[in-house]
Amino acid sequence: MASPSDSRMKLVVLHAENRPNGLEAIEDIADIRYATAQTLGDALVGADVLLMWDFFSDALKDAWPHADSLKWVHIAAAGVDSLLFDELIDSDVVVTNSRGIFDRPIAEFVLASILAFAKDIPTSLRLQQQRQWKHRETELIADTDVLVIGTGAIGREIARLLRAVGMNVSGVGRRAAPRIPISGRSGSVTTCPATSATPIMSSPLRR
């Protein structure tokens, strides 16, 4: 008779230094195996699902001969290009990504970086640590020009946030799309197709 663990889904989590949090919530329905790039081959034997938490890793290609029961690979990244290889593409294994998860966090990081540059935050922090007060002039970002390279979901969310603070946004994508609507605040982004001959120019924030 098969043991209860034999009927549970077998999930392999490929990780580097850090493991994902919260997986204990599914331990009742899944046999979870944690693996690094070095141990992935052994962990994949009999496994149903692979979670690519270490989404920079290319270990799956080398470990593929051990994936005798694999049905689903999920990568914790917005894209799958770095994961794909011929044997996986030709197989029946379902591959999914984490599209949509990173849109807002990356957009906020981009806005934060622009503000940090325009307001010279590094100098403010340095003066603060030195307990100095020094009046300085910084730049406004409103009505400045910004070019977003890539007009997918992440690029559109970046554009939405940057428009919200008054920046003039243009985009470069793989295909020509004169106007791409932006959800939220009304507006759209003007884009042009990116080719090897397309000059990519952006107006820097003036100091």
For residue 134, which phi and psi values (nearest 5 degrees)? -145, 120
Beta strands 94-96 and 145-149 are unpaired
Q: What is the pLDDT of residue 2?
A: 43
40 token code pair: 């992935």
Q: What is the pLDDT of residue 207?
A: 32
Q: If you average pLDDT over every residue of the chain, what do you get?
A: 85
Q: What is the mean pLDDT of each run of 10 residues along the chain (207 residues)?
A: 66 94 90 96 97 94 96 93 92 94 95 96 94 92 93 90 94 70 52 47 34
DSSP characters over the chain: ---HHHHSEEEEEE-SS-PPS-GGGGTTTEEEEEE-TTTHHHHHTT-SEEEESSTT--HHHHHGGG-SS--EEEESSS--TTT--HHHHTSS-EEE--TTSSHHHHHHHHHHHHHHHHTTHHHHHHHHHTT----------TT-EEEEE--SHHHHHHHHHHHHTT-EEEEEESS--S-EE-SSSS-EEEEEE--TT-----PPPP-
Q: Which domains does the chain have, with CATH numbers?
A: 4-96 (3.40.50.720), 103-193 (3.40.50.720)
Residue with tokens 């042009």: 192
- Asked if residues 153 and 100 have their Cβ atoms less than 8 Å apart, the reply is yes
Q: What is the pLDDT of residue 193?
A: 56
Q: What is the pLDDT of residue 202?
A: 37
Q: Do you know the residue count of the chain?
A: 207
